[in-house]
Chain A
Amino acid sequence: MTMNLRQFKENLLVYGADIHKWPAGIRKAGLNALSSSAELRAASADEERFERVLKTRKHEEPGSDLAGRIISASQPKKKKARRSPGGFFSELVWEFSLPKPALTAVSLLLVCFLMIGFAIGFSNSIGSVSAEEYQTGIEGFLYYQGEVP
């Protein structure tokens, strides 16, 4: 790929005087063109001088605590954080400085206790009264024809 003077000057303007920073696709052609023409070398040197002038532009430094000013300005506007279960647990972890494995172990333990509780609840039918038994009891009481003590 070859590059003529017009293309070279356009690329100088768009990508800058440092040809090594040009996009890979045109860099090699740019370097070849530069080495083959004194006119292009002059154009490149001219662009370099111009960029040096532009780079002399400085800006005043911001106030020493710009960030602090912004942060404190946002404080009174602080909204109540929207609570999510994930957020709550993650704050809990931070608050008690629990490492993640410990939290996982505690969670698993709680889940185990819960499941054992359910298992005991379902399997233990002694002492529980079924609806049928209860109804029979009521009927027996209502239609009892014996002597009332």
Chain B
Amino acid sequence: MNAPSQLYLDRQTNHGGRKTTEKMDTVFFRLDDESLIRKTQEGSHEAFAALVKRHSNRFYSVAYRFVFDKNDAEDIVQEAFLKVWDRPGLWNPGRHAKFTTWFYKVIINLCLDHNKKKKTIALPEDIKLADKQPGQDLLLDAHQKQVILDGFLRKLPERQLLALNLCFYEGLSNKEAAKIIGVKVKALQSLIMRAKTRLKEEVKRSLSGGSI
């Protein structure tokens, strides 16, 4: 989340035109997500803007971890938020108690759609894992290690990657992640176990060959 001073600057630069906007923004930033989405449903663009400023970076990282591409992740976050603005009735306070839980679902569905459309990108030739030579690990820089790790993650089945991203990287509870994915907690735990076991094997294999 942005620092308060940054938020203040954002308010000044983006909404300088209306005298009431700044005061309203200050109030909007104090409101919780559910109040903001309710105000968005009433047509308040300021409430929508506050919601975007509060959550765009967080959900960008969720999308990035799933689509592995900056531009695609940004587009997905934009599409998700515009969906909220265009069809605010999609969020139902009775069914979706927490805005973020519901919005995770929106982002993840868009990521799944995106991945279906896009073919898996192959690892670059110069960092093929099979190519192992003595001392190669010293030559691998942080970026290459990232690409290798991303390569392992890309190979995970979608639901396992999803479970790992939500629980390990996002730090959500098993219960919340299970709700987002739409499975029972036991099933989610099984997904995490399988994902980690598989990754661990891959990482160990690479370590023995000196890749990571």
Contact = CB atoms under 8 A, between A and B. Distances in A.
B146 interface: yes
Contacts, number: 104
B64 to A, nearest CB: 4
Given A70-B81, A70-B82, A84-B42, A50 B56 contact: no
Which size class do A's interface residues fall under? 35 or more
B168 interface: yes
A50 B42 contact: no
Interface in A12-56: 13-14, 16, 50-51, 53-54, 56
Contacts of B53: 67, 71
Interface string A93-112: 01101000000000000000
B212 A53 contact: yes
A80 B64 contact: no
A62 B58 CA distance: 10
Interface stretch (B93-101, B108-116, B195-203): B195-203
B192 A77 contact: no
A137 interface: no
What is the predominant secondary structure among interface residues of chain B facing chain A? Answer: helix
A148 interface: no
A14 B174 contact: yes
Interface residues on B, range: 35 or more
B45 interface: yes
B42 A57 contact: no
A68 interface: yes
B70 A71 contact: no
A14 B64 contact: no
A68 B2 CA distance: 13
B42 A74 contact: no
Closest 9 CB pairs of A and B: A81-B43, A59-B64, A60-B70, A62-B60, A67-B56, A13-B193, A74-B85, A67-B53, A14-B189
Interface of A: 10, 13-14, 16, 50-51, 53-54, 56-60, 62-63, 66-71, 73-75, 77-82, 84, 87, 94-95, 97
Given A59-B73, A66-B56, 6 more contacts: A50-B196, A50-B199, A62-B57, A70-B52, A70-B82, A95-B20
